[in-house]
Amino acid sequence: MSLNLDAKVPAGDLKDKWEKHKFEMKLVNPANKRKFTVIVVGTGLAGGSAAATLAELGYNVLSFCIQDTPRRAHSIAAQGGINASKNYPNDGDSIKRLFYDTIKGGDYRAREGNVYRLAQVSTNIIDQMVSQGVPFAREYGGYLDNRSFGGSQVSRTFYARGQTGQQLLLGCYSGMMKMIAKGKIKMFNRREMMDLVTINGKARGIIVRNLITGELERYAADAVLLCTGGYGNVYFLSTNAMTSNASAAWRCYKRGAGFANPCFTQIHPTCIPVHGDYQSKLTLMSESLRNDGRVWVPKKENDTRKPAEIPDEERDYYLERVYPSYGNLAPRDVASRQAKYRYDEGKGVGPTKQAVYLDFRDSIKRDGKETVAGKYGNLFEMYERITGDDPYKTPMMIYPAVHYTMGGLWVDYNLQSTVPGLHVLGEANFSDHGANRLGASALMQGLADGYFVAPNTISNYLASTQLEKVTTEDPAFKDAEQAVILQTSKLLSIKGKRTVDDFHKVLGHIMWEKVGMARTEAGLKEAIDKIRVLREEFWKDVMVPGDTGNFNLELHKAARVADFLELGELMALDALERRESCGGHFREEYQTPDGEAQRDDENFAHAAVWEYTGTNSSPIRHKEELKFENVKLATRSYK
C-alpha cells in the first residue's frame, strides 16, 4: 500500500494560486446541487460554518454533533480572539505579514500555499461574522478594536471580550439554524461517529452511535467532512472539553487516511495549574492576558515569600529578559518551555511549585483597575472562582497545559485526505500551523476552512467525480457497523477491575512526562513500551458497567480511551522519528547552546504522514517534502 501525498498546490505566484484555483475548479449547477448529500461531522467553527455554507449553496447537509445542541462545540471555549490581516490599526500588517508570521510561528513546518490562502481569506471572515451580528469589541468611534497576541508585532486580533470563540460559534450556529429552518440541514444531536464507510475507495458514509438510545445508525452521502477537532485529550488533562476525542479521526486513519505529524502538540503557557488527582480538566487563561500581565518567578530557589513581599530586584521577569523584543508576547511553545526551565531550576511557585506568576500589578498602576477590568474582567472572575484568589490583588499563578494539536489527518490543498471524498477541516487536519500554532489563529483556520475553502473544493470534487448511487444497505455499511458492535460487546464483556478513567489517567501521565514539553529518545521508547503494556491491560481489565441499550456514558468513554491508547503510541513514535526540535516538538538532544529548538531542515523539512497497516503491523512513515519558495528558512528568533 502507499499513500498519495500529492498536495495539489496550484502552480504560479503565491498570491494568485487561490484565485486561479477557484477559477479552474469545476462547479455544480444550482439545479444539480440538490441531488448531492454531504455529511458534516462536528459543529465547531469548521463544521458549523461548512454546514451552513454548503446548505446555502443548495446541497443537502446531514450534520452531526456529540453534544445536545451544535452550539456547545468546544470552539466555544476559545477566549482571546481571531487574527485577520485587515490592517485597521495601520501598524504595518498585510496578508504577506500574516502569512510570514504563521509560517515562522509554525517553525517552517507548514505548507506555503495553504498558509498564504489562510491569510488571504482571513479578512473575509471578519466581514462575514460582523454581517451575522457577532458583537466584536468596538472603539468609541464605532470601529472595530484590535489587540495583539503572541508571535506577532502588529495588532491584528479581533475579539469579543474574553468570549470570542463563543461569539463566533454562535454566529456559525445561527447560520446553521437558518438553514435548518429552510430544511437544507438535517441536524443529528447527541451522536458520535464510530466509523467511516468507504465504497470503491471513496468516503460514502458514516456509522454513528445515538448516545441516548445506544443504537447504531447508518448515513450515506456523496462526501464526508470531518470537523471533529484535535486529540489533546490523549493527555487526560488538557484544556479540551470532556467529550473532545480523537475517535472519528482515528477511525478514518484506520480506513486509509494518512495521519500527519501526530507529535506536534501545543502546550499552552497560561493555564491554571494542576492541584489534585481528582482533577478532570485544565482551564486556560487567555493568552491575551500576556498583553498586560508580566510573567515572573523569584530569582531565589524555593522562595516561599508571598509575591507582594518579593521586591522587584529579586524577581526574574524571564520572558522580558530572554526575549527583549517580544517579551511577554513570545510564542506559546517558547513561553511554555521557559516556564518549564524555571520549574526545573527550582524557581517554580505555589504549593506544587509547578507554577509561575502572571502579574497585573504594573498595568493596574499604569492604566487603572477599571481599564484592566474592561479588558479581562470575566477572565479575572473565572480565575477567582476556580482558585479562590483575586488577581487584582495578587498575581495569577499559571503553568503550561496541553491545549491544541497541530498534527491531524493529512489533507491536500483542497482539504481532502488520502481517502477520496473525505475532507478534513479545522483542528482535525494538519494543514496550516506547522509545528506550533500562533494565538488567535485556530478560530481563523476553522472558519477559513469551513466558510471559504471547503465549499469551493467540495463542489469541485462532486462535479469531477464519478459517484455511484449507494444506500445504507450496502455491505460496506453492514461490515463497518459489525466492527463497532464487536468492539462494543468486547468492552462490555471484560468486566475487569479498573475504571476507564483510571486507564486514561495513567496514559495521560505517560504522555505528559515523556511526550510533553521535552522529549528524549530514551523517554519516547519507554513511553511506547509502557503504552503497549497499558493497552493490553485495558483490554483485559477494564470495567464498563451497563449495556448498549441506553445512555451509557462509561461505554462511550471506553471506546474513546481505547483509541487514545493507540494514538498515544503513534504520537510517541512520530516524536521518536523526528530527530530534530521544532515548534512544540522539543527533543532535548537537539537544542542550541542557549536552550532553543534546533531544527534540521536538511532532513526534516517535511510532514511525516503515517499509514495504518493493520493491528499487528507497524505503521509506515511517508513524507511530504515541504518546498519553501517564498520564505527563507531561518532560525526562529524572538530575541
Partner 1 sequence: MSSNNNMTLNLKIWRQKGQEAEGKLVDYRVEHVSPDMSFLEMIDVLNEQLIRKGEDPIAFDHDCREGICGMCSMMINGKAHGGYKNTTTCQVHMRLYKDGDTIVVEPFRASAFPIIKDLTVNRAGLDKVIIAGGYITANTGNAQDANAILIPKPIADEAMDAAACIGCGACVASCPNGSAMLFMGAKVSQLALLPQGQPESAKRTLNMVNVHDSLGFGNCTNHAECEATCPKGISIEHIARMNREYLKAAFTYHEKNRSEGGA
Subset of 111-150 contacting partner 1 (CB under 8 A): 124, 126-144
Q: Which of residues 442-461 bind partner 1 (CB under 8 A)?
A: 451-452, 455
CB of 449 to partner 1, least distance (A): 12
**Pairing of the two strands 202-210 and 37-41:** unpaired
Three-class secondary structure of residue 559 per DSSP? helix
Cell of 483: 466492527
CB of 228 to partner 1, least distance (A): 14
Cell of 433: 500551523
Element (H, E) at 150: none
CB of 94 to partner 1, least distance (A): 16
Quote the DSSP letter at residue 587.
B
Q: Between the CA of residue 405 and those of 104, 195, 239, 428, 631, what are the distances in Å? A: 17, 21, 11, 8, 24
Cα–Cα dist 281/290, whole Å: 22
Q: Choose among 168, 185, 166: nearest CA to 177.
A: 185
Nearer to partner 1 among residue 86 and residue 599 (C-beta): 86
Query: Which residues, in sequence order, are CB contacts of 572 under 8 Å at separation 6+?
Result: 263, 511, 514, 515, 524, 527, 528, 531
Nearer to partner 1 among residue 179 and residue 570 (C-beta): 179
Q: Which of residues 68-87 bind partner 1 (CB under 8 A)?
A: 68-72, 74, 76-77, 86
CB of 493 to partner 1, least distance (A): 14
Q: Which of residues 524-543 bind partner 1 (CB under 8 A)?
A: 543
Which residues participate in catalysis according to the annotation? 332
Phi, psi of 515 (to 5 degrees): -125, 35
CB of 393 to partner 1, least distance (A): 16
Q: Pattern 478-507, binding to partner 1, x per CB under 8 A?
A: ---------------------x-xx-----
Query: Which residues, in sequence order, are CB contacts of 13 under 8 Å at separation 6+?
Result: none
Q: In terms of DSSP H, where are the helices of 155-300?
A: 164-181, 247-254
Three-class secondary structure of residue 420 per DSSP? coil
Three-class secondary structure of residue 98 per DSSP? helix
Span near partner 1 by CB under 8 A; candidates 32-40, 337-345, 514-522, 545-553? 545-553
CB of 51 to partner 1, least distance (A): 11
Exactly one of 85, 163, 328, 418 binds partner 1 (CB under 8 A); that residue is 163
Query: Which residues, in sequence order, are CB contacts of 575 under 8 Å at separation 6+?
Result: 263, 515, 519, 524, 585, 587
Q: Which of residues 87-106 bind partner 1 (CB under 8 A)?
A: 88
Span near partner 1 by CB under 8 A; candidates 227-235, 461-469, 481-489, 544-552? 544-552
Q: Which of residues 172-201 bind partner 1 (CB under 8 A)?
A: 173-175, 177-178, 180-181, 187, 189
Q: Which of residues 301-360 bind partner 1 (CB under 8 A)?
A: 350-351
CB of 538 to partner 1, least distance (A): 15
Q: Choose among 423, 421, 432, 412: nearest CA to 50.
A: 423
Q: Which of residues 550-609 bind partner 1 (CB under 8 A)?
A: 550-551, 553-554
Q: Which of residues 279-308 bind partner 1 (CB under 8 A)?
A: 279-281, 283-284
Nearer to partner 1 among residue 166 and residue 441 (C-beta): 166
Nearer to partner 1 among residue 65 and residue 319 (C-beta): 65
Exactly one of 103, 160, 206, 396 binds partner 1 (CB under 8 A); that residue is 160
Q: Which of residues 383-402 bind partner 1 (CB under 8 A)?
A: 385-388
Torsion angle of C-alpha atoms 599, 600, 601, 602, degrees rounded to 10: 170
Cα–Cα dist 71/183, whole Å: 18
Exactly one of 167, 418, 445, 581 binds partner 1 (CB under 8 A); that residue is 167
Element (H, E) at 512: helix 500-514
Nearer to partner 1 among residue 125 and residue 322 (C-beta): 125
Nearer to partner 1 among residue 244 and residue 488 (C-beta): 244
Nearer to partner 1 among residue 65 and residue 570 (C-beta): 65
CB of 57 to partner 1, least distance (A): 9
Cβ atoms of 340 and 350 within 8 Å: the answer is: no
CB of 17 to partner 1, least distance (A): 19
Cβ atoms of 364 and 356 within 8 Å: the answer is: no
Q: Which of residues 226-255 bind partner 1 (CB under 8 A)?
A: 239, 241-243
CB atoms within 10 A of CB 357: 22
Buried b (16+ CB within 10 A) or exposed e, 181-215: eeebbebbbbbbbbbbbbbeebbbbbbbbebeebe
- How many helices (H) does the chain have, and how many strands (E)? 18, 22
Q: Which of residues 46-65 bind partner 1 (CB under 8 A)?
A: 49, 52-53, 56
CB atoms within 10 A of CB 394: 16
Nearer to partner 1 among residue 76 and residue 608 (C-beta): 76
Nearer to partner 1 among residue 486 and residue 553 (C-beta): 553
Cα–Cα dist 561/555, whole Å: 10
Residue matched to cell numbers 489587540: 147
CB of 214 to partner 1, least distance (A): 11
Nearer to partner 1 among residue 23 and residue 278 (C-beta): 278
Span near partner 1 by CB under 8 A; candidates 194-202, 222-230, 478-486, 549-557? 549-557
CB of 305 to partner 1, least distance (A): 17
The angle subtended at Cα 23 by Cα 54 and Cα 185, nearest 5°, is: 5
In 13-129, beta strands by DSSP E? 37-41, 60-64, 82-83
Q: Pattern 405-444, binding to partner 1, x per CB under 8 A?
A: ----------------------------------------
Q: Pattern 259-278, binding to partner 1, x per CB under 8 A?
A: ----------------xx-x
Nearer to partner 1 among residue 144 and residue 633 (C-beta): 144
Q: Choose among 532, 402, 434: nearest CA to 118.
A: 434
